[in-house]
Structure 1
Amino acid sequence: MIEIIKSYFYEERDENLGDLGATLILDFILEKLAMEFYNKGIYDAYQYMNDRLDDMLGLQR
């Protein structure tokens, strides 16, 4: 991810970003968004399992 962030800054902003800067940006993003990604994953898994359960119950009827 560090290399991707550095590449993005170079290609999109024409800035050379070092490892420390890229690491700080990654840490910031993870701190602010990690819980959102986690909750979305939990919700998606729940929805998937509900859909499969409905499929199974449909076979029973």
Structure 2
Amino acid sequence: MKPIELSKDARAAATGKLRDYFRQELDQDLGQLPAEMLLDFIGKEIGGVFYNRGVHDSQELVQKKAEDIVEALYGLERGS
């Protein structure tokens, strides 16, 4: 699988959230470098789980929309 790449702004926001979480929930200061390393670990080792869930949810949505379109097309049919 292709590695998850984040923009500079998205990466800064994500590491900021990790640092805030550690400070607020764990009463620990997490430095910038450890936060970036943790973000890399999450992306590499756990990110696929979230990615796959997003793909699955997208598949369900597309399938539902396709069924709605088929149903709408049947509604347009005329009797012969």
Q: TM-score, structure 1 length as denominator?
A: 0.84
Where in structure 1 are there 5+ consecutive unaligned residues?
none
Does residue 58 (structure 1) correspond to residue 49 (structure 2)? The answer is no
Q: Where do 1:7-26 residues align within 5 Å?
A: 7-26=20-39
Percent identity between matched residues is: 30
Equivalent residues, number: 61
| Counterpart-to-counterpart distance in 1, 2:46 and 2:53 | 11
Aligned partner of 2:62 in structure 1 is 49
C-alpha separation in 1, matches of 2:51 and 2:17 = 22
Structural RMSD (CA): 1.3
**1:39 lines up with 2:39 in the alignment:** no
More helix by share: 1
CA distance in 1, matches of 2:26, 2:68: 49
TM-score computed with the length of structure 2 as normaliser? 0.67
Distance (Å, rounded) in 1 between the aligned partners of 2:54 and 2:19: 27
